[in-house]
Each structure stands twice: as C-alpha cells, then as structure tokens.
Amino acid sequence: MIKLCFLKQATVILCSSALLVLLFACRHRPTYESMLPSVRIDTVKRADGETISRYAGVIRGGDEIGLSFKVAGTIQRVFYPEGAFVKAGALVAQMDQRDYMVQLSATEAEYNEIKSLAGRVSELYEKGSATKNDYEKAKSGLEQITAKYNHHKHQVADTRLLAPQNGYIIRHLYQAGETVAAGMPVVSFAANNGYSIDIDLSLKDYLRKADFKGFTATCVLNPARPEPVTFPITLKEIASQANANGLYRAVFIVHPVDTIPLAIGMSVEVNIDCNMTDARLFRVPVSAIFDREGKPHVWIYRNENEGIQSRPVEIKELTIAGDAIVSGGVENGEMVVSAGVHSIQEGMKATVAIHH
C-alpha cells in the first residue's frame, strides 16, 4: 500500500514538472520578429548645400622674384640665410670681383692717358696749332674710352647683389664657390608687400571652379598647443593649363589678421567652400557603401516586410563629414542600410534599430 502511494506521488511530480517545462518553453519561444537582424538606416538626401575641399599649402611672399647678378662670375658669399628679412639696399650676395678690378684698372690707365692727350689737342686747336680733324679724332677717342671706363666701373659695382626693397630671402639657388651666368637667379626673394599661398587643384575641383563660394586658410601657430587658427584668403588666379601631374595651380592672396602672426614658409591648409547644385547627386553615409565584384553598392531598405535590395552607385566625392556624394542607384528620400552592411544578403528582411 505504501509503495502504491509513493508511485502515485512520483507520477504527479513528474507530470507537474513536465507541464512547467512546457509552459516555460512556450512563453520564451522566439518570435519571427526577434529572429530578424536589426539594422541602422539613413535617408538618402540630395547633395545640395556646400562641400569643402582641403589642400595643403605654404605661405609665400606676395611677389616672389629671383635676384641675379648682371655679370657672370663666381659667387664669393651669400650674406643672409633662408627666411631672413632684409632691408632695401642691403648687400645680399657678393661675386668675386678680382677679374673685373684688373679690367677696370687697365681701362682707367688708358682713360687717363687718352683724356690727357685729348686735353692737349684741344688746347692746340684753340690756338690754331692743330687741325679740326685732329681735334675731332681726339674728342671721339675720349668719348669712347669714357664709355668703356664707365662700363667697367658698372661691372665692378654689379658684382654686389643688393635687395631691391624690403623683403625675405626665400631660398638659396646657388652657393658660394659656384659660377653663374649674368641674369641667372642666385636667391629667391619675396617682397614684403603681403603674403600669398599656392596650391595645386585637382581636375574635379578645377571643373567646378564656378561653384566656388568662399576660401579660408587654417594653420597651427604653436605645435605644443595644436589649436588651429583660421584667417581669410582671396582667390587671385587659377592656371588654365595643367602641370606635369595633371593639377592646376591656384594662387590665393592672404588677408593678415593682427592677432595671427604669419610668416613666410608656414604650412597651412586651404579650405574651399563649394556649392553642390547637381540634382543627379545624392548624399549617403560612407558606412552604407560596400564592395561587390569591384563596384560600390548600397542596400536599399523599404520596410521589414520586404527584402533588402542592393544597387550599384558611383562615388563622386567623399566629404569630411563622413558622407559620400554618389550618383545612380538611389533616389532622394529612399532609405539605405548604414550599419551592418556586410552581414546582409540579397532579399533578406530586417528590422530597424536606428533611423537617422
């Protein structure tokens, strides 16, 4: 009797346990929605508004020229280092003038002799003791030797290279001991009449130069405190012909700010604000782009009841805000998957975790 009661109790306990397990399993059975992957989506927008192109540049003098000797010879000394400020009339470089001094000494002796002879002939002519022909010859000879003498004096003076105005020595093109021809630039010199910045534009930006809206430059004054400062610049000119690298030289005029000490040779970043008005261009997050068979694609999301579809796009530009300017494959207002793009397959359904 006791055994029978024990068996009945055991059976009841087992049945109750099985019923509890069954109820628990039914309560925690995963729904279809919980099995769908969660994705983040962003809305496709037209690429209207502004984009910024950035280029590295260096501050230069307003008018950069090459200073050269007017005579040929060997450079004896360059007096100022690169980057130094020089005043108008300062001696920048000296050429070895020994040969020119020897030449001048010989011409000076010849000049003194002919001048003395011409003086005696002139006295005799006034007294009637010399013919007019002798007088004219003596006068012509004096004029010729005078011109030669002055020319050789100028050549000696031209062995001294002087600064034409206040400015900066940008770089040495030749060093002491090197021989240069007349007119060959020895140093690059920048007049102290303002600053300029040169950059090389890409073909993409050159073609949309009509959409340029504004320009600024940014630099770091103190490397120990890398807080960039920004100052205004103005576009002066853009070369109409590309250089050997396929780039177009653009020159900007710097508008100094009293609180920002600028100097020639400082590295800067040029910022070009550009309007985007092409109705065929759209803006999507860079994270929405993935590669398929070597071509960029995006996932188009409609709703959780329709499968996600991939579409190819063409990337036109990447912005500093983390967006891609694309054409083809998307329309304004459509939704693209912007996170988890590599875990999705064609036609897969998903739920939205975040919608930007």
Q: Which pLDDT value is given to residue 264?
A: 78
Q: Tokens standing for 112?
A: 């003194």
Task: Please give the pLDDT value at position 68.
Answer: 95
Question: Residue 35 has what pLDDT?
Answer: 64
Q: Which two tokens stand for residue 171?
A: 């770089």
98 phi/psi in degrees, rounded to 5: -60, -45
**Do 51 and 126 meet the contact criterion of CB atoms below 8 Å apart?**
no
Task: Note the pLDDT of residue 89.
Answer: 93
Q: Which of 318, 310, 316, 353 is nearest to 334 (CA)?
A: 310
The residue extents of the domains of the chain are 35-48+279-355, 53-62+193-276, 66-96+159-192, 98-158
Query: Given this model, what pLDDT does residue 97 score?
Result: 94
What average pLDDT does this structure show over 164-177? 90
45-46 and 167-172: which strand pairing? unpaired
pLDDT at position 279:
60
Q: What topology is assigned to 35-48+279-355 in CATH?
A: 2.40.420
Gap between the Cα atoms of 227 and 222, Å rounded: 8
Q: What is the pLDDT of residues 68-103, one digit of tens each?
A: 999 999 999 999 998 788 999 999 999 999 999 999
Name the DSSP letter for residue 343: G
- Its CATH architecture, for the domain 66-96+159-192, is Beta Barrel (2.40)
pTM score: 0.49
Task: Give the pLDDT of residue 17.
Answer: 52
Sequence letter at residue 268: V
How many CB atoms lie under 10 A from the CB of residue 335?
A: 21
Is the pLDDT at 112 greater than 90, yes or no? yes
- pLDDT range class, residue 39, cuts 50, 70, 90: confident
Query: Do 35-48+279-355 and 66-96+159-192 fold alike per CATH?
Result: no
In angstroms, the CA 103 to CA 147 distance is 14
Could you tell me the fold of the domain covering 53-62+193-276? Elongation Factor Tu (Ef-tu); domain 3 (2.40.30)
Say yes or no to pLDDT of 26 above 60. Answer: no
